[in-house]
Amino acid sequence: MTKLIHVILIFSLAYVVRSDRTLNTFKILHASGPEAIAFDLTGQGPYTGVSDGRVLKYEGPGIGFVEFAHASPLRTKEKCDGTDDPNLGPICGRPFGVGFNYRTGELYIADAFFGLCKVGPDGGLAEQLATSAEGGPFKWLDGLDVDSTTEMVYFTDISTKYTFR
């Protein structure tokens, strides 16, 4: 029994040492408010929308998160990167929902200020697809999912009265 305890202890210490090394190489994300995550067809990611309007992609422990896309054509790095000011939403955007169409590789974005958008597999500025439905503007887009069989995009507008600000 004593030998078994020693073996378990040795393997446990090896795990702790390895875990410590992994933590030392992880890059810290300088953004706030990650809201949703998605993985692309090849399992890369996660991709997540953050409060400064960017959609970030995780590139692994050596690189960390990098900018992948944004929905706002008005967005500038100087004004928006790192901000969590909701008053800058009309300039920076605020992506709350993200989801992939696995057939095309396109990422769909539900942005509280810029509506339903999509961006190609290489990222960049997303194309705005819709800002309203049935004669009324979207107020606060949030969740989003893409049906992998039908390619239908489902998203939620969580209020008919209130906006994100």
CATH code of the domain covering residue 55: 2.120.10.30
Whether residue 56 is contained in a domain is answered as yes
**The domain containing residue 85 runs over which residues?**
27-157
Is 97 inside any structural domain? yes
**Bridge partners (DSSP) listed for residue 42:** none
Question: Comparing 14-28, 33-47, 134-148, which segment has the lowest mean pLDDT?
Answer: 14-28
CA dist 7 and 115 (Å) reads 57
Burial of 96 (0-12, 13-18, 19+ CB in 10 A): buried
Classify residue 75: in a domain, yes or no.
yes
> Which residue blocks in 57-139 are alpha helix, DSSP H?
77-80, 89-92
Cα–chain center distance at 18:
28
Residue 152, in any domain of the structure: yes
Q: Which residue has the higher pLDDT, 79 or 19?
A: 79
Contact 138, 132 (CB under 8 A): yes
Name which of 14-18, 54-58, 113-117 the model is least confident about: 14-18
**pLDDT number for residue 29:** 62
Average pLDDT value over all residues in the chain: 85
Average pLDDT over residues 138-157: 94
pLDDT at 135 over 70: yes
Evaluate whether residue 1 is within a structural domain: no
Residue 91 lies in a domain: yes
Q: Look at residue 19 and tell me if it is in a domain.
A: no
Is 153 among the domain residues?
yes
Per-residue pLDDT tens for 53-74?
Answer: 999 999 998 899 999 999 999 9
- H-helix or E-strand containing 100? strand 95-100
Q: Based on the structure, what is the number of domains in the chain?
A: 1
pLDDT confidence of residue 35: 86
